[in-house]
């Protein structure tokens, strides 16, 4: 009896090994998962920005942020994925300068005065340069002993009048930046 069971078992193994190979089952590749990460997760000055807030004010969607810290200076750059420009940069530095020093040493020539932003503020645009469009900039001396600047670098071929209009939007955005939160 034992012999018959062994022979039957071997026959079963042989038959199962002779079966036609099964058709391979196509498994689709995994679907990429889009994760909406806040700019603040990049640390540094990015903690002061929010992608939604930026989009509401400057009407451009950014979704990539990077920060850097060098001494007392905290910087954040935001861009759209896959694009180098436009970009928005926020820089905040601890300072002991006063309004007079800010006006004399920091405010660029031909900058326009901005009211209602920190102790003193300015806005300006600069012309396009090699590889980039014009730049819109807002700088201010915050009430908490911090020097801050917010700049928009336009894409190559962008018109200066667009950057000039953006300085107004940057002022609105700057008023939402709480430099004390750094």
Q: What is the pLDDT of residues 43-87, one digit of tens each?
A: 789 999 999 999 999 999 999 999 999 999 999 999 999 889 999
- Total count of domains within the chain: 1
Which structural domain, as residue segments, surrounds residue 173? 39-181
Average pLDDT (116-122) is 97
Residue 12 has pLDDT above 70, yes or no: no
Q: Would 31 be classed as within a structural domain? A: no
Who has greater pLDDT, 67 or 2? 67
From residue 33, give the alpha-carbon distance in Å to each of 30, 36, 39, 73. 9, 10, 18, 34
In this structure, of 22-26, 61-65, 166-170, the range with the lowest mean pLDDT score is: 22-26
* Residue that has been written with the tokens 């190979």 in this structure: 21
Residue 142 maps to which CATH number?
3.40.1000
User: Do 114 and 140 meet the contact criterion of CB atoms below 8 Å apart?
Assistant: yes
pLDDT averaged over every residue in the chain: 86
Give kind and range of the element (H or E) at residue 151. strand 146-153
Q: Would 19 be classed as within a structural domain? A: no
Q: What percent of the chain has pLDDT over 70?
A: 82
- DSSP-derived pairing of the beta strands 120-126 and 112-114: antiparallel
Q: And the tokens for 24?
A: 């391979």
Q: Would 34 be classed as within a structural domain? A: no
User: Do 170 and 58 meet the contact criterion of CB atoms below 8 Å apart?
Assistant: yes
**Model pTM?**
0.78
Give kind and range of the element (H or E) at residue 18. helix 2-18
């Amino acid at each position: 009896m034992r012999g018959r069971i062994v022979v039957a078992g071997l026959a079963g193994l042989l038959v199962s090994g002779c079966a036609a190979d099964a058709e391979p089952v196509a498994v689709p590749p995994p679907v990429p998962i889009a994760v909406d990460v806040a700019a603040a997760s990049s640390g540094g000055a990015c903690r002061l920005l929010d992608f939604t807030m930026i989009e509401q004010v400057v009407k451009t969607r950014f979704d990539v942020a990077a920060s850097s810290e060098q001494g007392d200076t905290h910087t954040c750059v935001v861009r759209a994925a896959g694009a180098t420009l436009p970009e928005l940069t926020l820089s905040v530095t601890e300072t002991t300068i006063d309004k007079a020093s800010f006006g004399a040493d920091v405010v660029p020539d031909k900058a326009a005065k901005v009211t209602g932003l920190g102790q003193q503020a300015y806005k300006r645009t600069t012309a396009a340069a090699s590889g980039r469009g014009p730049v819109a900039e807002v700088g201010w001396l915050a009430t908490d002993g911090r020097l801050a600047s917010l700049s928009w670098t336009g894409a190559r071929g962008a018109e200066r009048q667009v950057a000039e209009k953006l300085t107004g939007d940057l002022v609105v955005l700057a008023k939402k930046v709480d430099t004390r939160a750094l």
